[in-house]
Copies of this chain bind each other. A is one copy, B any other.
């Protein structure tokens, strides 16, 4: 190894900045943010250990509990949704613990990967991309699997546009193994789709700010049942940043955090929760139902095929559409972005280039969806598509 001094790094030449464009952002996160929430971020910074910040947390926390439908404290971290996946696992399990991962797409796969990376023993119950977890299959598979400490479930699979029936799946798990910890990835569902943590007896639920919450990415929210807090006490996976105990202690002692929270994003969250409560939880759900039905209806009316195979499980936050034969996914996405300022998402993993996804969660109007689907129709035909 060298110990020689290196040369100084000169000032780099970079490309000039250009204004951020205003687009019809129809990816499944980051989602568009209302102007008043964007503006809320621009308030001056405050001390995260002062009373002004505590006042925000004191307002935001019970409102998050309301959207989670839990009496457990909702903890918040500076992180992405993937941070929620890691945080959920390292707080309740120990090396070698056996967990069952119910996988229906890319984010279910990721959760299982994290479990494996942390030394858990993972048994997978996998379904093809586009399918939901079939409750009957899960029930019979669980009978063959023994000694599992937890079951990992994706509520809404962002990569396929499929929503699992978490309520039914949780009932099945609870019957099969009353003490199992039910870990639910609700990143792209919570606040947009019905999910009731306590009534459904879920143990760990987490979500991300850039999805249904109408704010930019950067805050991860997570809550744990009494059963999960009990498991936390004896869980031996190494942790510090994600540790629930210190986060809960600071929240309960002073409505604060053990480390520095993303203050400006909490201004946004405070504002967005005000708007969400003004709209109403049921009304938000209804708006998402209508959006899902509209986007799927338009796609099918154009003769396009959805990835989701069963209408009962089609997601009301994101629709995955198979790219029709003869059309390049890249080409349609580029055309929409450059000519219509409409941004859709490509497929992920092995479905990259084979599908595109339309996000319809958080802050959107019916006009946004109409404009997007009109443009998809026009541009596909321009590229030679015939239904």
Contact = CB atoms under 8 A, between A and B. Distances in A.
Given A216-B45, A260-B217, A82 B10 contact: no
A6 interface: yes
A340 interface: no
Given A30-B260, A117-B239, A55 B8 contact: no
A109 interface: no
Contacts of A267: 20
Given A259-B82, A261-B217, A262-B265, A11 B41 contact: no
A49 interface: yes
A41 B44 contact: no
Contacts of A11: 66, 277, 281
Contacts of A264: 33, 38, 41, 216-218, 264-265, 268
A202 to B, nearest CB: 10
A12 B82 contact: no
Q: What does DSSP make chain A's interface, helix, strand, loop or mixed?
A: loop
Contact of A63 (B14, B33, B79, B274): B14
A15 interface: yes
A210 B6 contact: no
Nearest to A67: B9
B263 A216 contact: yes
Contact of A18 (B55, B58, B178, B208): B55
Contact of A33 (B20, B22, B45, B217): B45
B216 A178 contact: no
Total copies of the chain: 2
Given A3-B201, A8-B196, A198-B9, A217 B48 contact: yes
Query: Interface residues of A toward B: which range?
Result: 35 or more
Nearest to A18: B55
A292 interface: no
Contact of A20 (B44, B63, B70): B44
Interface in A37-56: 38-39, 41-50, 52, 55
A319 B346 CA distance: 51
A229 to B, nearest CB: 12
Contacts of A198: 6-7, 9
A240 B114 contact: yes
B217 A78 contact: yes
Contact of A241 (B52, B83, B268, B281): B83
A156 interface: no
Contacts of A63: 12, 14
Given A20-B43, A20-B267, A22-B44, A8 B260 contact: no
Contacts of A260: 29-30, 80-82, 208, 210, 217
B8 A199 contact: yes
Contacts of A265: 216, 218, 262, 264-265
11 contacts: A8-B69, A11-B66, A14-B58, A20-B44, A21-B44, A27-B47, A41-B42, A82-B240, A86-B240, A217-B260, A218-B264
